[in-house]
A and B are shown apart, each in its own frame.
Chain A
Amino acid sequence: MALIDLKNIHKHFMMGDEDIHALNNVNLTINEGELTSIVGTSGSGKSTLMNIIGLLDMPSEGQYFLDGINTTEMSDDDLSKYRNQKIGFVFQSFNLLPKASALKNVEMPMQYASAYNKNLSDEAIRKMALETLDKVGLSARINHLPNELSGGQRQRVAIARALVNNPKILLADEPTGALDSKTSDEILNLFGELNKQGVTVIIVTHENNVAARCRRILRMSDGHMSEETKGETTGENRV
C-alpha cells in the first residue's frame, strides 16, 4: 500500500491581486522505504508540495491519503498528531530552538508525543534522545546550544529531532542548502543510511547533484509535476 498518495492536488492562494496556482493537478504515490527527491526552480511549487505532504499546509482541492487515511478531512489536532508520530522535518535553516541545548531540542517532539503515549516517562525520553543523538554522531555535544555548533552539527541535531519519534517519513527541505559540500555529503550519507533502515526519505532540493543521489526524482515546474526515472533501474535506492 502506498504510504503517500496524492490525488488531483491543487493549491492556489492570493498574493496581492494575483491568484497563484502553486500546484496544478498533482498526482503522486510514494511507497514505504523509497528515497525520493523533488527538484525544481524556486517558485515551481516544490516547497508547497512538501508542506502539503508534511501536513503543514492543506491543499485547495484534491485528496491526500497518508498511510491510508484521508488527511484532508482531519482536524487540526489530528494533523498535529500525524506530524508528531509519522513525519520528521529537516529544514534548510535547521529551525532549532536557539535557547535550548541539542538534547532539549531532540527531546521536544517526544514531549508532545507523551500526550499520546502516557508511558513515555522523562527517563525514556532522555534515553531515546541520547540514543538518537548518538546515531547521528553527536553524543559528545548534547549540552551545546545551537549557536555553539557548526552548521553540519546543527543539521545533525535537526535530523535527530526529526527521527526521535521513529517517523515513517523524513521530509527534508533543502537540507544541504546552508552547508559546504563536504558536510553536505556527510548529511546525505546519513539520509542514505536512514533510508536503508527503512525510513521513507523525501528531499526537496534545487541542486542536481543532491537529486542525483536519489533513485526517484520528481521535477516540479509551474505547479506541474513530472517524473524523471533514471536509466539504470537497479531496483534499489541509490545513495
Chain B
Amino acid sequence: MIFRKILINSAEAIVENKLRSALTMLGMIIGVMAVILLVSVGTGAKRYITSEFESLGTNVILVQPGKTDKKNSMGPPVSSSKGKLTMGDVEALQKNTTSLAAISGVMFGAGVVKNEFSTNNLNILGCNDEFNRIFNMVISQGNFFSKEDEDSGRRVVILGHTIKQNLFGSGNALGQLVKVNDSEHRVIGIVRPTGDKLGFNVDDMVFIPTKSALRLFNTTNLFGIRASAKSRSSLDVAVKDMTDILKERHNGEEDFTIITQVTMMESMNTILNMLTYALGAIAFISMLVGGIGIMNIMLVSVTERTREIGIRRAVGARRSDILKQFMVEAVTISVSGGLLGILASLLVTNILFIFLPGFDMRPPFWIIPPSFFMSLFTGVAFGVWPAKKAAHIQTIDALRYE
C-alpha cells in the first residue's frame, strides 16, 4: 500500500479513537514540555547569571585580602585576617603593571547620608577615579571623580539614583552639600539608574574617593582591590603580574586572593551546566514514561484490533503493510504530541515572560529540533514492538478472534 494511504488510514484510526489518542498524546505533550521547560529554566538561569556577571564589566579582576583555602573548596571562601591590602599596594600595582586598563582600591561600609530633607542608611563605597571604567558605571549628571579628587581625598560624593531622589527629589543636586556620616561632602555626580549589580543595588549607594572613605572609616586597610585587564587575552598576564607584585610587597607570602570574571564564570558555568543536565535527565525520564504510554496503548490497540488485522491480511495486506500501519499510528501520535508540546511550552514561556520580564525563560531555539526528533524517535522506538506483534498475528486466528 502506498505510504500516503497508510498515513490517511492511521489518521482515521486515531480520529476514531479520539479520547484514547488524546490521552496517549498527553503523555508525549507533557514529556516534550518537561524537556523544553526544564532546559529553558537551566539556560534561563545561566543566561541571567551570565548577564549579571557581564554587566559588571568585562575582564574584571578582584583582589581580596586573605587566602582562600583551596583545599576546602566547598562552602564560601573564608578569608584569614592575616593578609591586608593597603593604598600602597594599589599604587605599586598602578606603577608596575602594563596589562591593566584600570585599577582602584575599594573601601566599603555602612553609613548614613542626610540633608535637611532626608536621612538614608546605606552602603558607602570608596573608590578612585578609575573605578567607573572597571564596572561600566555611567554618570548621568555631573562627573565621576577626577584624579585630584582621589589624590587629595576631597570631600565629594557621587549619588546613586534613588538616593538622589530621596535627598533632592527632582531638583538639582550638583554642587549641593550632603552629610556623609556627619562630614559634609559636595555632590559632583549622579549615577544613571542601574539596578542590581551582583547583589548590590547601585541606585541605593553613594560613592566617595577611597582616601576620603579610609578617613571616614578610620582605617588604612582596604576592603579590596578592583581592576580590569586591557583585554580578555591579557587577563592571565595581568593576574600573574599582580600576584608577583603583591607577593613581593607581602614578604613573599600569598596572603590575598585574586578572582577574575573568567574563573567566576567558569565555576558558575560548571554548576549551571550540571543543573541543566540534571534537569534534562529528569525531563528524559518523563519522555520515557510518555513513550511507554504509547507502547502500552499501541499494544492494547493491536489486541483490540486483532480481527481488523485478520481482515486486512485476508484481503491482501502484507506483513509490512500492517507493520507500517501501526508504526505510522504510533509515530503520528508521538509526533503530534511532540509538536503540541513544543507549541505549549513556547506559549507558557512567552506568557511567563510577559509577567516576569526579569527572568527570561523562553526556550533557546536549539532545543526545539532535538525535542521534535526525540518525540519522533520515541514513537519509533516504542511503536516498533507493538507493530511487529501486529504484523505477525496469524491471519486465521485473527479472523476468528472475538
Asked whether A and B interact, the reply is yes
- Name A residues whose Cβ lies closer than 8 Å to a Cβ of B: 51, 54, 56-57, 76-77, 80-81, 83-85, 89, 91, 95-97, 99-100, 108-109, 111-115, 161, 165
B1 pairs with A112, CB closer than 8 A: yes
Instruction: Kindly identify which residue among B16, B315, B319 contacts A161, using a CB–CB cutoff of 8 Å.
Output: B315
> Interface residue count for B (Cβ, 8 Å)?
23
Which residues, 388 to 402 on B, are CB-close (under 8 Å) to A?
395-396, 399
The 10 closest A-B pairs by CB, nearest first: A84-B316, A109-B315, A112-B316, A80-B318, A99-B16, A56-B396, A83-B316, A95-B311, A77-B318, A56-B395
Given A56-B395, A56-B396, A95-B399: A112 and B317 within 8 A (CB)? yes
Tell me the complex Cα distance, A3–B9, Å: 34
Tell me the complex Cα distance, A165–B307, Å: 21
A111 pairs with B5, CB closer than 8 A: yes
- Most B-side CB within 10 Å, residue of A51, A80, A100, A113: A80
Tell me the complex Cα distance, A216–B19, Å: 52
A108 pairs with B2, CB closer than 8 A: no
Instruction: Provide the residues of chain A in CB contact with B311, threshold 8 Å.
Output: 95-97
A56 pairs with B314, CB closer than 8 A: yes
Instruction: Provide the residues of chain A in CB contact with B321, threshold 8 Å.
Output: 80, 112, 115
Tell me the complex Cα distance, A83–B317, Å: 9
A-B contact sample (18 more), CB < 8 A, given A108-B312, A108-B315? A57-B396, A76-B319, A80-B317, A81-B318, A83-B313, A83-B315, A85-B316, A89-B315, A95-B310, A95-B311, A96-B311, A99-B16, A109-B315, A112-B1, A112-B312, A112-B321, A114-B1, A161-B315
B308: interface (CB < 8 Å): yes
A114 pairs with B315, CB closer than 8 A: no
A229 to chain B, nearest CB (A): 30
B320: interface (CB < 8 Å): yes
Of all chain B residues, the one with the shortest Cβ separation from A105 is B311
Instruction: Provide the residues of chain B in CB contact with A89, threshold 8 Å.
Output: 314-315
Given A77-B319, A95-B399: A115 and B314 within 8 A (CB)? no
Of all chain B residues, the one with the shortest Cβ separation from A104 is B12
Of all chain B residues, the one with the shortest Cβ separation from A52 is B396
Which residues, 302 to 332 on B, are CB-close (under 8 Å) to A?
307-308, 310-321
Instruction: Kindly identify which residue among A95, A108, A111 contacts B307, using a CB–CB cutoff of 8 Å.
Output: A95
